């Protein structure tokens, strides 16, 4: 006979763990099923291994979603204060670093450890290596068969199987198919916060070089996002925080909307205004500096040969050379051919249509007693703790919502 539970949580990541804990705290017999051999593996790599688990200021308006009101409703009831209290009650001390919340240990393993301890305290049953093949409504229960032949039953199901980023850590997109089979609409998932493919000799020549820069994403002749941060040149194109922070709009344009005119514009000397930079280059030219030395002290020396090639033929006066270089340094335009894949994407943009999720309990509007939480939903925030905040908050409310449905 198959094990029976009040609530089964599909997915043992951040949202799934929060959901299971919330449901079990309401006194419901709860199980977690996960396709990986251990729960929460993706948590261990977040925040560069530090786990940026939240923000001091959590603004729903910074998220993109098919239903922004859902995001606002969730964070109104479970925001920064509630997330902080949740972890502190688990025994985790939290510190702030520039508005970002981290465990005081600076180790993501500490976050996972306190969650695992609470799973044991709440007597939540865990089935690892359990890849759900379907969620089958059967009267007042659901049957969850696994691909290896195991099976469990539950009166309610919380689907928190994640998106598609970092598939080696468990989120391979298979949970999308479970929801689609039940009638849910899927907004095509594309890689988000992901390095970009740019075929340019500069990138190849400068590969491995990192600088501070500004980056703008342009789609069909219109600026759609801007960020400042690190810029890393690679053999395939561009990476670094500045690029990752504008990559979502680029990825959606290229991978989902099939746009062709997509470019990234770089400010390689963000510490200087255009006029100031122009005057400095002109001064150097008037003082007899060689073309390959014109950016010495402004950019790493490796840029010298590259910058010399940016002087257009015919620009032989000092004024024209200075103007051309200042323009190239402050507004370097590069066509983007594509993005790297899911193994290098931090998040998923897209997912299950958030408009099909009831905002109070996060219950499916299509299948009663099915609840949805975490990255599987079409809800995405910027880098820096926003998406984990969504996982903790939506998971907790889905767990409470599922538990509240019992007489």
Q: pLDDT digits over 252-296, tens only? A: 999 999 999 999 999 999 999 999 999 999 999 999 999 889 999
Residues 392 and 271 in one domain: no
Residues 187 and 307 in one domain: no
Residues 38 and 178 in one domain: yes
pLDDT at 308 (0 to 100): 78
In b/e form, how buried is each residue of 210-229, taking b as 16+ CB within 10 angstroms? ebbbbbbbbbeeeebbebeb
Residues 170 and 246 in one domain: no
pLDDT at 405 (0 to 100): 82
pLDDT at 66 (0 to 100): 97
Share the mean pLDDT of the chain: 95
Band (pLDDT 50/70/90 cuts) for residue 166 is confident
CATH number, domain with residue 375:
3.50.50.60
Which residues, other chains included, contact 289 with Cβ-Cβ below 8 Å and sequence gap of 6+? Answer: none
Looking at the structure of the chain, the number of domains it has is: 2
Residues 125 and 13 in one domain: yes
Please say if the pLDDT value at position 305 is more than 90: no
345 by Cβ neighbours in 10 Å (0-12 / 13-18 / 19+) ranks as: buried
pLDDT at 407 (0 to 100): 58
Residues 236 and 302 in one domain: yes
Residues 67 and 181 in one domain: yes
End position of a domain, from candidates 340, 358, 393: 340
pLDDT at 169 (0 to 100): 80
Residues 332 and 351 in one domain: no
Residues 57 and 107 in one domain: yes
What is the mean predicted confidence (pLDDT) over 331-337?
Answer: 97
Residues 12 and 159 in one domain: yes
Residues 121 and 261 in one domain: no
Residues 211 and 295 in one domain: yes
Which residues, other chains included, contact 15 with Cβ-Cβ below 8 Å and sequence gap of 6+? Answer: 160, 162, 373, 374, 375, 376, 390, 391, 392, 394, 395, 398
Find the domain containing 219 and state its range: 195-340
End position of a domain, from candidates 340, 363, 378: 340
CA dist 27 and 359 (Å) reads 23
The DSSP-derived string for 307-352 is HHTTS-TT--SHHHHHHHHHHHHHSEEEE--EE--GGG-SEEEEEE
CB 218 within 8 A of CB 263: yes
What is the mean predicted confidence (pLDDT) over 229-256?
Answer: 97
What is the mean predicted confidence (pLDDT) over 303-320?
Answer: 81
CA–CA distance from 102 to each of 78, 84, 89, 190, 241 (Å)? 18, 10, 15, 28, 19
End position of a domain, from candidates 340, 372, 390: 340
């Amino acid at each position: 006979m198959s094990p029976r539970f009040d609530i089964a949580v599909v997915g043992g990541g951040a949202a799934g763990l929060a959901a299971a804990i919330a449901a079990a705290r309401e006194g419901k017999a709860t199980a977690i099923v996960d396709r990986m051999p251990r729960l929460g593996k993706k948590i261990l790599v977040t925040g560069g291994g530090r786990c940026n688990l939240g923000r001091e200021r959590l603004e729903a308006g910074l998220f993109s979603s098919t239903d922004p009101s859902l995001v606002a409703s969730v964070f109104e009831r479970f925001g920064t204060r509630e997330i902080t209290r949740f972890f502190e009650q688990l025994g985790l001390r939290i510190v702030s670093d520039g508005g970002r919340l981290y465990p005081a240990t600076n180790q993501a393993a500490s976050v996972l450890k306190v969650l695992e301890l609470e799973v044991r305290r709440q007597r939540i049953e865990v089935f690892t290596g359990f890849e759900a093949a379907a969620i089958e409504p059967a009267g007042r229960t659901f049957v969850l068969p696994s691909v290896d032949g195991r099976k469990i039953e539950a009166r309610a199901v919380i689907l928190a199987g994640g998106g598609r980023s970092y598939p080696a850590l468990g989120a391979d997109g298979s949970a999308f198919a479970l929801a689609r089979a039940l009638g849910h609409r899927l907004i095509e998932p594309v890689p988000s916060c992901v390095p970009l493919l740019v075929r340019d000799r500069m990138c190849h020549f400068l590969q491995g070089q990192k600088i501070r820069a500004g980056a703008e994403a342009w789609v069909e002749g219109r600026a759609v996002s801007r960020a400042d941060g690190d810029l890393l040149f690679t053999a395939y194109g561009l990476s670094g925080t500045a690029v990752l922070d504008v990559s979502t709009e680029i990825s959606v344009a290229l991978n989902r909307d099939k746009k062709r005119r997509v470019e990234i514009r770089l400010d390689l000397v963000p510490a200087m205004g255009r006029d100031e930079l122009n005057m400095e280059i002109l001064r150097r030219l008037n003082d007899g500096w060689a073309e390959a030395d014109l950016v010495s002290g402004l950019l790493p020396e490796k840029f010298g040969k590259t910058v010399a090639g940016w002087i257009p033929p015919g620009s032989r006066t000092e004024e024209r050379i200075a103007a051309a270089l200042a323009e190239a340094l402050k507004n370097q335009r590069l066509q983007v051919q594509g993005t790297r894949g899911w193994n290098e994407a931090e998040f998923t943009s897209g997912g299950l249509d958030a408009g099909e999720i009831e905002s109070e309990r996060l219950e499916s509007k299509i299948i009663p007693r099915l609840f949805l939480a975490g990255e599987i939903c079409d809800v995405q925030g910027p880098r820096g703790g926003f998406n984990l905040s969504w996982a903790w908050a939506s998971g907790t409310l889905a767990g409470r919502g599922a538990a509240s449905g019992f007489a």
